[in-house]
Structure 1
Amino acid sequence: MTHAHHPGGVLLPLLVVVAAAGYAILTAITPGWPGRRILSFLTGAVLLVAGLMPGMSPWPAGDFRTHMLQHLLIGMLAPLALVLGAPMTLLLRAIPRRAGRVVGRLLRSRAVHAVANPVVALTLNLGGIAVLYLTPLYAATVRDPALHLLVHVHFLLAGYLFAWVVAGPDPAPRRPAVPVRLVILGVAIAFHAIFSQLMFAGLFVDLPVPRAEREGGAELMYYGGDIAELLLAAALVTRWRPRRQGTNTARTQSSFLSLKMR
């Protein structure tokens, strides 16, 4: 089974390059912006471009293993690296005060509060995986390039949201304590481990692909998912200061309420 031609072919990677260039410009007008943030965001952009270009995969474009590699890059590894670049904090420091207030009001909106919750983010993330592989949706994406693109967009946004609310340096509303977020991350790790084993065995999944491709894709999900989630856990615990948790939480809430750090 071969994927239809991707509608975003060159345009989507080009948009990522433009976004990376915009980030670089903002860092140039923001004195003292940490180099590690720049490196992280640019790494995320490179991973995202690689995920959007199946020709860079070691397997053919229509191979299920290529699809799974794209899923790992677009939905897990690239979002984490992008989030660790703290793009929202950079934007708020670089733009004029009045524009910062507009962005702040948007981020304090009910819609953002509704989705900026680790449980909601987890549901969107894992739910997308379940729907894609347990229903005929995957086969439909193979035939319909527009649907294929929408699935990539969903995984990118869901992955970014999950990384942001779990371990992102940018302020987030309704962010629970670190131990709670570690439990939520543990649920994600367990889900990926169990689901990848079911996929390897061909149980309950709806994947009209050769067995070798299905098993190879399952192995990529198992080991690649572990790597991505362990990196996310590391990002979370390295920023954790248990003795000052109350102070840090109050500071984060204050930062989110102002959202214009100048």
Structure 2
Amino acid sequence: MRFAGTVQEVAVGPLVVAASDAALDLPAFDLGVVFSEWGLVPMSVIVTVWGIGLYALGVVAMRRRGDRWPVGRSIAWGVGMAAFYFATSSGLAAYDTVLLSAHMVQHMVLSMVVPLSLALGAPVTLALRTLPGTPRKWLLVLLHSRLAKVLGFPPLAFALYVLSPWALYFTGWYDASLDSTYVHEMMHVHLVAVGALFFWPIVGVDPLPGRVAHPFRVLLTVMTLPFHAFLGVTIMGQSTLLGGDHYPSLHDGPMGSWLPDPFDDQNLAGGILWGAGDLVGVVFFVVLFIQWVKSSMKEAEREDRRLDRLERQQRLAATGDPTPPRRASE
């Protein structure tokens, strides 16, 4: 069985369907149940199917007209959508209101892995190259709108990305997500959206507002690492439980025989936030560094071509012969 917010659900085969009066009873958490306790979550199914389907249509349209779309971008988009579905529909989601540590893994996947992968997929560039006239004009208007410029402003995106987890865990928001399925699902959307606002202009190749030079991108990346670590340490040092009485109350049910002590689980959750944040941050930094190197190489090639053109123009003006002089070895 599976529990999500205030809705209790019963497993039927490999899937999970809602049952309003079902008793909350899940097997002991381990790696096996992460891949066996799948849930039928409408929002996750709709977003994943439409996300992959529309992207695939764009890639097919590119190939039909003879244009090439990088395979790496398609793989990155597929990884991002798969990670989103996994985080919101697998056994990880089944236990996200049972174990704070499971929720924290889900949090990191939704706020870092999913946005980073989707940004590398460059869906906006794909849309601009495949959409027909009117929809393409609408997209361009949106990209150049005041709203896009405000949301893409790097300091604002950085502040939202850094402060949102603090607001989630140290206000009534997290408690509300445990009591309401709607708030719970909106929390997932929020984590992905804020992560996208931060990651997309930094590592993405799409022509979005807020793109800054690579040194500033590296600086923003480095600045996020201490905040994840500090939040993780703060959660580990809390003398009160996140979620109030929610987790202790589960010990009175059929899962009480295997559930860990809530404080121990909270310490584990804080450690996951700390360690996973640094790990994904390092991966993010490596991706950004590789992009910086490639950008520098392309810039060097453009500068070489510009100097070659300038040299040809000067030679033509001086001798009337546009061809470069032949080397002695030739």
TM-score under structure 2 normalisation?
Answer: 0.69
1:95 matched to which residue of 2? 131
The aligned counterpart of 1:27 is: 59
Query: What is aligned with 1:235?
Result: 287
Are the counterparts in 1 of residues 95 and 103 from structure 2 also a CA contact under 8 Å?
Answer: no
SS of the residue corresponding to residue 174 of structure 1 reads: coil
Tell me the equivalent position of 1:221: 273
RMSD over aligned Cα atoms: 2.6
Residue among 42, 48, 52 paired with 1:11 = 42
2:103 to 55, 61, 67: 67
User: Partner residue of 2:29?
Assistant: none
Q: 1:2 to 1:56 in 2, by over 3 A?
A: closer
- State the alpha-carbon separation in 1 of the partners of residues 159 and 281 from structure 2: 16
- AA partner of residue 263 (structure 2): R
Distance in 1, matches of 2:98 and 2:6, equals 8
- The AA in structure 1 aligned to 2:43 is L
The range that moved more, 226-235 or 104-113, is 226-235
Deviation, 1:211, is: 0.8
Secondary structure, aligned partner of 1:239: helix
* Pair 1:158 & 2:194 matched: yes
Deviation at 1:216, TM superposition (A): 1.4
Q: How does 1:183-222 map to 2 (within 5 A)?
A: 183-202=219-238, 206-208=242-244, 209=247, 210-222=262-274
Whole-Å Cα distance in 1 between the matches of residues 98 and 190 of structure 2? 20
Deviation at 1:234, TM superposition (A): 2.0
Task: Give the conservation status (yes or no) of the 8 Å contact 1:72–1:224.
Answer: yes
In structure 2, C-alpha distance between the alignment counterparts of 1:203 and 1:177, rounded to whole Å: 43
Moved over 6 A (4+): none
The residue that corresponds to 2:175 in the other structure is 139
Whole-Å Cα distance in 2 between the matches of residues 214 and 2 of structure 1?
A: 19
Rg larger in structure: 2
SS at match of 2:208: coil
Q: Which runs of 5+ in 2 are unaligned?
A: 9-17, 19-38, 248-261, 304-330
Q: 1:214 to 1:102 in 2, by over 3 A?
A: same
Q: CA deviation at 1:129?
A: 0.4
Q: Once the 2 structures are TM-superposed, how far is the Cα of residue 61 of structure 1 from its aligned partner?
A: 4.7
Contact 1:3 1:62 in 2 (8 A): no
Q: What SS class does the counterpart of residue 6 from structure 2 fall into? A: coil
Partner-residue secondary structure (3-state), 1:32 = coil
Of residues 40-49 and 146-155 in structure 1, the stretch that sits farther from structure 2 once superposed is 146-155
Which of residues 194, 214, 222 is equivalent to 1:178? 214
* Deviation (angstroms), 1:57: 5.9
In structure 2, give the amino acid aligned to 1:17.
V
Would the aligned equivalents of 1:2 and 1:63 in 2 still touch at CA under 8 Å? no
Distance 1:153 1:22 in 2: 19
Aligned letter for 1:14? V
What residue in structure 2 maps to residue 42 of structure 1?
A: 78
Counterpart residue identity of residue 35, structure 1: V
Give 5+ residue unaligned stretches, structure 1: 249-262
Q: Is the 8 A contact 1:75 1:158 kept in 2?
A: yes
Residue 4 of structure 2 contacts residue 181 of structure 2 at CA under 8 Å; is this kept in 1? no
Per-residue displacement from partner, 1:102-128 (whole Å, max 9, x unpaired)? 211111000000010221111111221
- TM-score, normalised by the number of residues in structure 1: 0.85
Tell me the distance in 2 between the aligned counterparts of 1:182 and 1:223. Answer: 20
More helix by share: 1
Moved more, 140-149 or 83-92: 140-149
Residues of 1 paired with 2:239 and 2:70: CA distance?
47
Any idea what the Cα deviations from partners look like across 1:17-59, whole Å, max 9, x if unmatched?
2211211121111131011011110011110001112524695
Identity %: 26
- In 2: Cα distance, 1:59 partner to 1:98 partner: 45
Name the CA shift for 1:4/1:213 in 2 (closer, same or farther; >3 Å). farther
Q: Which amino acid aligns with 1:10?
A: V
Local SS of the residue matching 1:29: helix
For these two proteins, the number of residue pairs brought into alignment is 247
- Measure how far apart 1:205 and its partner are: 7.8
Q: Within 2, Cα distance between the matches of 1:115 and 1:205? A: 34
**Contact preservation (8 Å) 1:50, 1:56:** yes
Q: Does 2:161 align with 1:120?
A: no
